[in-house]
Structure 1
Amino acid sequence: MQKRPLGRSGLSTAPLVFGGNVFGWTADEATSHRLLDVFVGGGFNAVDTADVYSAWVPGHEGGESESVIGRWLKARGRRDDVLILTKVAMWPKQPGLSAANIEAAVEGSLRRLQTDYIDLYQSHQDDAATPVEETLEAYGRLVKAGKVRAIGASNFSPDRLAGSLAASETRGLPRYATIQPKFNLYDRDQVEGELATLAAAEGLGIIPFYGLAAGFLTGKYRSEADLEGRARRHTIKRDYMNDKGVRVLAALDKAVEATGATHAQIALAWVMVHPAITAPIASATSVAQLEELMGAASLVLPAQVIADLDAAGRD
């Protein structure tokens, strides 16, 4: 499988990144390990997680996803076969991007992941209270110590990201190699425009989350009745059940007829071929669901299908 460069980091990823937010939450440990086996066995190599996953679940405190991944790495001995992407700054237990927090948080992540190094350590969200130089200097010490190979950002505005890149340039500090925004057929504004221009100019990889729009782009949710009992029913109803959502689903329906692929495969394949995108992040809680999503990487969308989907998702 052809790999794609993660910006200027020297690292490369397959066209799909596994979103590890489900590990230890909606996928128990045995299922999570099976999913990782299937994913890596299928030629994919990047797994994205965060120290905060899954602190929002009653009875959880955070660190559950990293711990599940760590036990899988120890059991399988496949550390060299995977890229581990994790994040710092959003966990209420260890918030922000101060040097002290980064240096403490990375030790916890390394311990839970049962590894000596993190391939891509990401700032989960911006921290306006901490000078960017302090954050980057802390990352520099981790890179020098061999604990981190490259750094990335998530949920940064283009202006703040540009400011960090400028500080890296003028101070000779590590620079963000990637940015992780929300992006899918429906949600386009965080990438298209200023961020895409900045990423192209600075050689950043874009690894977006929410590729299936909380499941809306699977085509399963067309009415409130379809949402009954679903964990994200309120999000889907509020954000996607509107005229634009109807247009997007209609375009996906048409693409399904033209290609024979599923709605989810088409939605992810569209992101994969978008010129600004390196690789989308997507989660699965069953092997069947994962194999469906993995199929998006080998799906070739006709040019007219791509154009129709693009038009449907524009405001």
Structure 2
Amino acid sequence: MTQPARVQIGASDLRIAPLALGGNVFGWTADRDASFDVLDAFLAGGGDFVDTADGYSHWAPGHTGGESETLIGEWLTARGNRDDVVIATKVSTHPAFAGLAPDNVRAAAAASLARLQTDRIDLYYAHFDDEETPLEETVAAFSGLVDDGTVRAIGVSNYSAERVAEWFRIARDGGYHLPVALQPHYNLVERDFETNGLRAEAEREGLAVFPYFSLAKGFLSGKYRAADDATAAGASPRAGEAVGYLDDRGRAVLDALDAVASAHQVPVAAVALAWLRLQPTVAAPIASARSTAQLPALLDSITLELSAEELTSLTAASA
């Protein structure tokens, strides 16, 4: 197996293969055994970066949040491979730890460490902006976690460009640790990131960008070609949202993906992820897998190189 080139997460000392495995499905649509199988296969396939959040999967009936972290922690302990994996998690959406007040951030980090069965969080995100808490307090709290060794690096997710810039201003003025990563909604059919100021901010500050919904809730995997595909056996819980992209533009994107995938003899999903990985500021797309059968397409994207002409054709189709 060809080992993927590793990328640095911003100005941190963290280096990863250029694909993040999304942990949102663990304990939700993937049970313990399936989650362990996916994690094992991801590492065996050259991946080493797992992205989760303390709130996953509180939205599911009977769940309270923390299910994903708990399974990842059990897997890390069972495999004894903590030093081989970079773990990113987030705070603000767990029902018991909502928001970004300083005491809550510290308590949530401690709870995440316990669930993950580890002594440090490699990359810790502010998951959603909390405008009820002064940003100065949140910035100081995150920096304090780095000072005490609980967190190795800081990230921000779902923030506006203006609020990201404000975080940096506050951090510099206060002598606090700066963020190194940004997690926005971005993919081949959701391209606001390019024009809403976030990409410019990432370029300005040297942020490593990790887009979520990289496959547009499954649409860019190519498995949803008609509206009734959303109700087919095995469709994901987000299939109904995925088929929402089935307009003229969406079909043009699928046609362009099909052509490139055929040329390289790889799955459509691999091409969509490779396009995203090759965009300015992007360090690695985030994609999840409910089963090992879904993993090869994701892993293929790590080493897939697209020509300038192929990149142009995909970009034009989604314009």
CA distance in 2, matches of 1:108, 1:175: 23
**C-alpha distance in 2 between matches for 1:261 and 1:38:** 18
What is aligned with 2:242? 236
Moved more, 296-305 or 106-115: 296-305
Match of 1:263 in 2: 268
Aligned residue among 205, 209, 229 for 1:206: 209
Amino acid in structure 2 at the alignment position of 1:222 = R
Consecutive unaligned residues of structure 2, counting only runs of 5 or more, are: none
Shift of 1:258: 2.1
Q: CA deviation at 1:139?
A: 1.4
- Does the alignment pair 1:252 with 2:261? no
Aligned residue in 1 for 2:304: 299
8 Å Cα contact 2:21/2:49 also seen in 1: yes
Shift of residue 292, structure 1, vs aligned partner: 2.0
Deviation sequence 1:114-169 (CA, Å, 0-9, x none): 00110001000001111111111111221121111111000000000000011111
1:256 is displaced (CA, Å) by: 2.2
Q: Per-residue deviation at 1:303?
A: 2.0
Query: Is it true that 1:12 corresponds to 2:18 in the alignment?
Result: no
Evaluate the alpha carbon distance shift between residue 175 and residue 34 of structure 1 in structure 2; reply closer, same or farther with a 3 A threshold: same
* Cα separation, 2, equivalents of 1:193 and 1:305: 25
What CA distance in whole angstroms lies between the structure 2 residues aligned with 1:266 and 1:308? 12
Query: Which of residues 215, 219, 223 is equivalent to 1:216?
Result: 219
Could you tell me how far 1:192 is from its partner in structure 2? 4.4
Three-state SS of the structure 1 residue aligned to 2:225 is: coil
Distance in 2 (alpha carbons) for counterparts of 1:182 and 1:140:
25
Alignment match, 1:3: 6
For residue 225 of structure 1, what is the aligned residue in structure 2? 228
- The Cα shift of 1:182 comes to 0.9
27, 31, 34: which one aligns with 1:31? 34
AA at the equivalent of 1:282: A
Q: Do the aligned residues in 1 keep the contact of 2:54 with 2:112 (CA within 8 Å)?
A: yes
Q: 1:142 aligns with which of 141, 145, 149?
A: 145
- For the aligned residue pairs, the C-alpha RMSD in angstroms reads 1.2
What is the deviation of 1:285? Answer: 1.3
Write the mapping of 1:38-187 to structure 2, written as runs, cut at 5 A. Answer: 38-187=41-190
Deviations 1:36-72 (A, max 9, x none): 1111122221100000000011011100000000001
| C-alpha distance in structure 2 between counterparts of 1:207 and 1:199, whole Å | 11
Matched-pair contact (CA < 8 Å) for 1:181–1:191:
no
Alpha-carbon shift at residue 290 of structure 1 (Å):
0.8
> Is the Cα contact below 8 Å between 2:41 and 2:292 reproduced in 1?
yes
Find the residue that maps to 1:47 and give its secondary structure. Answer: strand
CA deviation digits over 1:161-185, x for unaligned, max 9? 0000111111101211111001111
**Are the equivalent residues in 2 in contact too, given 1:99–1:135 (CA < 8 A)?**
yes
Contact 1:196 1:276 (C-alpha < 8 Å) held by counterparts: yes
Equivalents in 1 of 2:308, 2:109: separation in Å? 44
Are the aligned partners of 1:88 and 1:122 in contact in 2 as well (CA < 8 Å)?
Answer: yes
Secondary structure in 2 matching 1:93: coil
Q: Distance in 1 between matches of 2:261 and 2:299?
A: 17
Length-normalised TM-score, structure 1: 0.96
Match of 1:273 in 2: 278
The aligned amino acid for 1:217 is L
Match of 2:316 in 1: 311
What amino acid is aligned across from residue 289 of structure 2 in structure 1? A
Aligned residue pairs total 313
- Distance, in Å, in 1 between the alignment partners of 2:287 and 2:26 is 13
Q: How big is the shift at 1:193?
A: 5.3
Indicate the residue corresponding to 2:295 in structure 1: 290
